[in-house]
């Protein structure tokens, strides 16, 4: 029996199990990928919001990463909440040393849904300087895109413009998430050197969306770990998150968690399907 695909997630802990490393591990399990973690912060949160955050020392975060990479290795790295500038720089340095060729999916976690800041303001420039050029894919929402690029995407053209700006800043590709843009459909744009792929899917009207960003980025990383090309991994991840929202366990009084375990992907299915088979549509290389 061959060893499983491996994923190292570097992110914060969510005791409610909906986001952060807990969501990362549930997503890995759904994809059949072996998940490993390096904890960057302990948060106190539930579906109603984040009430407290304690960021671990950069040395402790790096020690966890070293322990995993020097023994078990990984096929892909997913980075979420980092919290402080020192942690951003230290993570970039250790990954450059130990895993310079390993694909990195960066979810630039900056703000909680409740509005609390999860990345200190002075760390944004450090992120731009040290981690953006290392990322094979970045997955910002509208607020994160504005913080990173100065462009607030209000429509598809804005998503494309912000994605182009991120490529200019050194990222390999950008999945620009349009969930916060008004409309009956959700439009995401995958911007890469090969072009701009506009991906459209139905909007699910649900309050159970806690951890969608973490889950989407990890689902893409799982696809890459399993050998999919970037575009196919993104399509599969979007469908997984859609099903996970549909199958949410409906827990909590606020933004509830997704049904990670009820939405396992069909990894054998072709990424592109006809609209009759699939509510997702794609406009390629625009």
Catalytic residues: 177, 209, 211-214
Edge-to-edge strand ranges of the sheet holding 6-13: 49-55, 34-46, 6-13, 76-79, 104-106, 137-138, 174-176, 185-192, 195-202, 281-283
Cβ–Cβ < 8 Å for 12, 81: yes
CA distance 127 to 241: 26
Phi, psi values for residue 79, rounded to 5°: -115, 130
Q: How far apart are the first and last CA of the chain?
A: 43
């Amino acid at each position: 029996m061959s060893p499983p695909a491996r994923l190292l997630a570097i992110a914060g802990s969510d005791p409610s199990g909906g986001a952060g490393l807990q969501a990362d591990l549930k997503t890995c399990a759904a994809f059949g990928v072996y998940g490993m973690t390096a904890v960057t912060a302990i948060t106190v949160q539930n579906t109603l919001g984040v009430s407290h955050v304690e960021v671990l020392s950069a040395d402790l975060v790096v020690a966890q990463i070293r322990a995993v990479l020097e023994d078990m290795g990984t096929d892909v790295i997913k980075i979420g909440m980092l919290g402080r500038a020192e942690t951003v720089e230290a993570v970039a340095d250790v990954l450059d040393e130990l895993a310079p060729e390993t694909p990195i999916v960066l979810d630039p976690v900056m703000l909680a849904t409740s509005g609390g800041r999860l990345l200190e303001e002075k760390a944004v420039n450090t992120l731009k300087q040290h981690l953006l050029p290392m990322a094979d894919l970045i997955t910002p929402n509208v607020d994160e895109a504005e913080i990173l690029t100065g462009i607030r995407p209000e429509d598809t053209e804005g998503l494309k413009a912000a994605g182009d700006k991120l490529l200019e800043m050194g990222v390999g590709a950008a999945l620009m998430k349009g969930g916060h843009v008004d409309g009956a459909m959700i439009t995401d744009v995958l911007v890469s050197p090969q072009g701009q792929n506009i991906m459209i899917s139905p909007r699910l009207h649900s309050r159970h969306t806690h951890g969608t960003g973490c889950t989407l980025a990890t689902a893409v990383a799982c696809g890459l770990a399993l050998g999919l090309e970037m575009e196919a991994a993104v399509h599969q991840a979007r469908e997984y998150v859609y099903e996970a929202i549909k199958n949410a366990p409906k827990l909590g009084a606020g933004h509830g968690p997704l049904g990670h375990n009820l939405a396992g992907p069909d990894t054998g299915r072709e990424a592109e399907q006809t609209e009759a088979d699939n509510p997702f549509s794609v406009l390629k290389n625009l």
